[in-house]
């Protein structure tokens, strides 16, 4: 669990860390589009260079990255093998048995899928490693603002998201405390069959939920006492400011986009 870095934040001082979370979020989506547009060696080459450059700019070591991604490798390998064995006929057939076909088309395709997967995971890991959850939340709610026009309660959602993030460590601590307390009473966590393991979670989940509900009630009282009425009629202390580096990053991405358009197989 501890070397599982996907979704964690690594505080460093780099230009990638300092980018506006809105820019990073939008570029991450844009990047996925790019990954799906690439379809030959040159375009994938461009993307790999791109990704390595981004990781380099973040000052996070590549080794740390690869080690962290390792747990996800099984998922990738599984998908690639499926693709390899069951892809539709096309090109030269290398191997055929019952309904299993290994074809030239399948080999090339699964190679691409492998690279796609890897690239997308690398970039999204880079996003979370270089951006605080809170900033991701702020960025997301800022990007969702236009949805106000169709009466999506964006501000309330943002408030909920930020409070949820705020309470993650509190509840984690509490879960650890409860687990220790229950262990002292002889409960085994993570042992035995699936059913037994699930059952051993009950003495954890019940007190955890009770406490979470109590906290929620306390919190709502405290918020009301502090003048909270609704999320729409509030001013904002934390704001995001678009910097020159955000524009520059966008320009680099657009150049990459143009290159991929130029070199991809149409």
Partner 1 sequence: MENIIEVKHLSYRYGKEQRPALNDVSFDVHRGEWLAIVGHNGSGKSTLAKSLDGLLPFTEGTVTVDGLELSPATVWQVREKIGMIFQNPDNQFVGATVEDDVAFGLENRQVTREDMIPRVKAAIEEVGMHDFAQREPSSLSGGQKQRVALAGIVAITPSILILDEATSMLDPLGRHDMLELVSKLRRDQKLTVISITHDIDEAANADRILVIDDGQLVQEASPAEIFALGEKLVDLGLDLPFTAKLKAALKKRGIEPPTNYQTMAEMEEWLWQSLSNT
How many CB atoms within 10 Å of residue 120? 16
Tell me which DSSP letter residue 145 carries.
Answer: G
12 vs 33 by CB, closer to partner 1: 12
Closest CA to 139 of 27, 60, 8, 220: 27
**Min. distance of Cβ 185 from partner 1 in angstroms?**
24
Considering beta carbons, is residue 156 or 197 the nearer one to partner 1? 156
Nearest-approach distance from CB 239 to partner 1, in angstroms? 7
| Spatial contact of 110 and 87, defined as CB atoms under 8 Å apart | yes
CB of 160 to partner 1, least distance (A): 12
Task: Report the nearest approach of partner 1 to the CB of residue 50 (Å).
Answer: 32
The DSSP output letter for 4 is -
Binding site for partner 1 (CB under 8 A): 134, 162-163, 165-166, 169-170, 173, 214-215, 218-219, 221-229, 233-239
Residues ≥6 apart with Cβ < 8 Å to 80: 110, 113, 114, 117
As measured in angstroms, the least distance from the Cβ of 187 to partner 1 is: 25
> Quick one: 148 or 199, whose CB is closer to partner 1?
148
From CA 178, how far away is CA 175, in angstroms rounded? 5
Quick one: 73 or 168, whose CB is closer to partner 1?
A: 168
Q: Is 28 exposed, middle or buried (0-12, 13-18, 19+ CB in 10 A)?
A: middle
Nearer to partner 1, 15 or 219 (CB): 219
Give the residue with the Cβ less far from partner 1, 78 or 228: 228
SS (H, E, C) 17-69: HHCCHHHHHHHHHHHHHHHHHCCCHHHHHHHHHHHHHHHHHCCCCHHHHHHHH
Min separation Cβ 241 and partner 1, Å: 11
Closest distance to partner 1 from the beta carbon of 202 (Å): 24
Please tell me the number of Cα atoms within 13 Å of 133 on its side-chain side.
Answer: 13
User: Between 188 and 217, whose beta carbon lies closer to partner 1?
Assistant: 217
Separation between Cα atoms, residue 146 and residue 22, nearest integer Å: 14
| 235: helix, strand or coil | coil
């Amino acid at each position: 669990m501890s070397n599982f870095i996907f979704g964690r934040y690594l505080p460093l001082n780099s230009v990638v860390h300092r980018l506006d979370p809105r820019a990073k979020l939008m570029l991450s989506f844009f990047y996925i589009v790019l990954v799906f547009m690439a379809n030959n060696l040159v375009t994938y080459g461009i993307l790999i260079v791109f990704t390595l450059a981004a990781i380099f700019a973040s000052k996070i070591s590549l080794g740390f990255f690869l080690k962290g991604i390792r747990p996800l490798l099984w998922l990738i390998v599984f998908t690639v093998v499926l693709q390899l064995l069951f892809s539709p006929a096309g090109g030269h057939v290398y191997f055929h048995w019952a309904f299993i076909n290994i074809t030239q088309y399948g080999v090339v395709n699964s190679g691409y899928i492998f690279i796609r997967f890897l690239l997308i995971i690398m970039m999204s890991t880079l996003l979370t490693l270089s951006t605080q959850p809170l900033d991701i939340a702020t960025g997301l709610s800022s990007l969702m603002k236009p949805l106000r026009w169709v009466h999506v309660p964006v501000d309330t959602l943002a408030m909920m998201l930020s409070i949820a993030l705020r309470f993650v460590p509190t509840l984690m601590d509490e879960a650890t405390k409860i687990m220790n307390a229950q262990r002292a009473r002889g409960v085994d966590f993570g042992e035995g069959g699936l059913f037994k393991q699930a059952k051993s979670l009950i003495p954890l989940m019940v007190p955890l939920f009770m406490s979470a509900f109590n906290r929620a009630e306390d919190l709502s009282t405290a918020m009301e006492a502090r003048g909270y009425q609704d999320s729409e009629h509030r001013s904002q202390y934390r704001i995001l400011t678009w910097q020159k580096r955000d524009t520059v990053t966008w320009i680099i991405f657009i150049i990459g986009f143009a290159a991929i358009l130029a070199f991809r197989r149409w």
